[in-house]
Amino acid sequence: MRKRTLLALAGAATALTVAAAVPSAAAGSAVLTTGSTGGTAAAVGDTLTAPLAAGTSATLYSSATGTSGVSCTTSQFTATVADNPAAPGTATESVTGHSFDASSCTSNVTGVLGVSSIVVDNLPYTATVTSAGTLTVSPPSGSTIQTTVKLRTLLGSVTCVYRAASLTGTASNSDSSIAFTNQQFTKFSGSSLCFANGYFTAKYAPVTDAGARLYVN
C-alpha cells in the first residue's frame, strides 16, 4: 500500500467571523444585525460565536479533490465586533479564538494513529464581511495565518505547521452560516508525514451574538 503523508488541520483557519449575508442591503440597517435582516445593529465590542454546522465536519485534505487527511466534528470560533457601519458596507471583527477538539478528529492516513492537538497561532486575526457576503480573514501585519498540529504516528509524535496568507469564505442568511471551501495552506515545517499542501473546508452555523442569530445586510 502506498504510504501517505498527513496534513494537519490548518488554522482554520481560522474560520472566523461573522454571519450571513444577503444579496442587497436592508435599507437603514447596519451591516451586521441580530434577530433578522434589518434588525438590531450588533454593537461594537459584542462577542460573536459559532460551532460547526450540525452534521458537518471541518476537513483538511491533501488535495482539493481528495479525501485523504484529517476530519474534525467539533470546532468553534469567537470574534469581537470592531466596526459595524451602515449598509451597504464592510464590517470588521477581531478573531480572538478558533478551537478544534482533538478528541473529535480522525485521520484516514496510513501511519497516523490520531491527533493530539490543533492550535491556531498568531491570533487575533482581522475578519471582514461585506454586504455582498464576502468574508476575508487576514493575519496581523507581518504575520501569517498559522496552525500547529501534533499527530500521533507509528514513528512517534509529529508536529506539522501550516501557513496561509489569508482565507476567503462566503456567508448566508438562510442559516446564519459562514463557509470556507478548499482554502489552501502550505507546510511551513514538519516531517515527511506532513502534506506539502492542505485544503481546508468547513461550515460554521449559526453565528450568534448573545444567543441571537447574526445577519448581514
Q: Which residue has the higher pLDDT, 54 or 11?
A: 54
Residue 3 has pLDDT above 70, yes or no: no
Per-residue confidence band for 22, with pLDDT thresholds at 50, 70 and 90: very low
Residues in the chain: 217
- Say what the pLDDT of residue 16 is: 38
Q: What is the mean pLDDT of residues 1-5?
A: 40
pTM beyond 0.85, yes or no? yes
**CB-neighbour burial class of residue 207 (10 A; exposed 0-12, middle 13-18, buried 19+):** buried
- Say what the pLDDT of residue 24 is: 47
- Say what the pLDDT of residue 175 is: 97
CA distance readout (Å), 84 to 24, 118, 132, 166, 208:
16, 31, 15, 21, 15
**CB-neighbour burial class of residue 158 (10 A; exposed 0-12, middle 13-18, buried 19+):** buried
DSSP E strand boundaries for the chain:
32-34, 40-41, 47-51, 58-61, 69-72, 75-83, 90-100, 105-107, 112-121, 125-130, 134-138, 145-153, 156-164, 167-172, 177-189, 197-204, 208-209, 212-216
Q: HSE (CB half, 13 Å, CA atoms) of 165?
A: 0
Q: What percent of the chain has pLDDT over 70?
A: 87
- Say what the pLDDT of residue 136 is: 98
CA 97 – CA 99 distance, rounded (Å): 6
Per-residue confidence band for 109, with pLDDT thresholds at 50, 70 and 90: confident
**CB-based contact 185:13 (threshold 8 Å):** yes
Q: What is the mean pLDDT of the chain?
A: 88
Residue 212 has pLDDT above 90, yes or no: yes
Residue 4 has pLDDT above 80, yes or no: no
Q: What is the mean pLDDT of residues 182-191?
A: 95
